[in-house]
């Protein structure tokens, strides 16, 4: 489903427990105009949400694409559009409070690597290596998890996930969240 807003196509962000969020994404094999348009729609959707990162599975597309702009003071200045990203290095540990555009009304402390190096293609088919630390490293890992069919709630305790599922069921009953699947069916 697309919504036209001032000439740009906004994509529908899928919400947990939508099954598309649990599927691992497939590598992009063809970079063309249609892919460029899709990536730009992802960027506009991320900004409109508002968010600082978005992975293709979050908008129902199971390809390995992420967009990130963690500089909220200067939107667009450090925007990253990455195709087929892969982690080359992970170092250290950091705990950060995370939330997600696909996980309604919930945040939690998640432990991640404090530093990482990622290799990816840009939409111009240029291979890049990006080193990120602290907050940006967390953002990268959060978005890369989406490409593996994981959400940040998969990294919290089973008890916290169960409590969140109960809260989500209540939100669904109140009509605040669209029901895509049964959250009690997932471990």
Q: 42: domain range?
A: 2-179
Q: What was the pLDDT predicted at 182?
A: 44
Closest CA to 105 of 176, 179, 173: 176
Q: Is residue 78 part of a domain?
A: yes
Q: What was the pLDDT predicted at 101?
A: 97
Q: What was the pLDDT predicted at 76?
A: 87
Q: Is residue 185 part of a domain?
A: no
Q: Is residue 169 part of a domain?
A: yes
Catalytic: which of 40, 127, 143, 178?
143
Q: What was the pLDDT predicted at 3?
A: 39
Percent of the chain with pLDDT over 70: 91
Q: Is residue 184 part of a domain?
A: no
* Residue ranges, the chain, pLDDT below 50: 1-6, 182-187
Domain count, the chain: 1
Q: What was the pLDDT predicted at 7?
A: 53
pTM: 0.89
Containing 136, the helix (H) or strand (E) segment is helix 134-147
Domain of 92, CATH number, reads: 3.90.45.10
Q: What was the pLDDT predicted at 178?
A: 73
Residue owning tokens 């009304």: 105
**143 in catalytic set:** yes
């Amino acid at each position: 489903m697309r919504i036209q807003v001032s000439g740009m196509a906004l994509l529908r962000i899928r919400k947990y427990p939508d099954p598309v969020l649990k599927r691992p994404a497939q590598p992009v094999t063809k970079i063309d105009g249609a892919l460029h348009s899709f990536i730009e729609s992802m960027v506009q959707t991320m900004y409109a949400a508002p968010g600082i990162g978005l992975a293709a599975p979050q908008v129902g597309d199971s390809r390995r694409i992420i967009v990130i702009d963690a500089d909220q003071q200067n939107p667009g200045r450090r925007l990253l559009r990455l195709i087929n990203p892969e982690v080359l290095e992970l170092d250290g540990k950091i705990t950060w409070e995370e939330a997600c555009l696909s996980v309604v009304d919930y945040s939690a402390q998640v432990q991640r690597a404090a530093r990482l190096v990622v290799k990816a293609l840009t939409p111009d088919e240029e291979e890049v290596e990006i080193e990120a630390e602290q907050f940006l490293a967390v953002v990268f890992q959060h978005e890369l998890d989406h490409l593996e069919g994981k959400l940040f709630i998969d990294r919290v305790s089973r008890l916290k996930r169960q409590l969140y599922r109960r809260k989500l069921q209540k939100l669904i009953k109140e009509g605040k969240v669209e029901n895509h699947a049964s959250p009690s069916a997932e471990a």
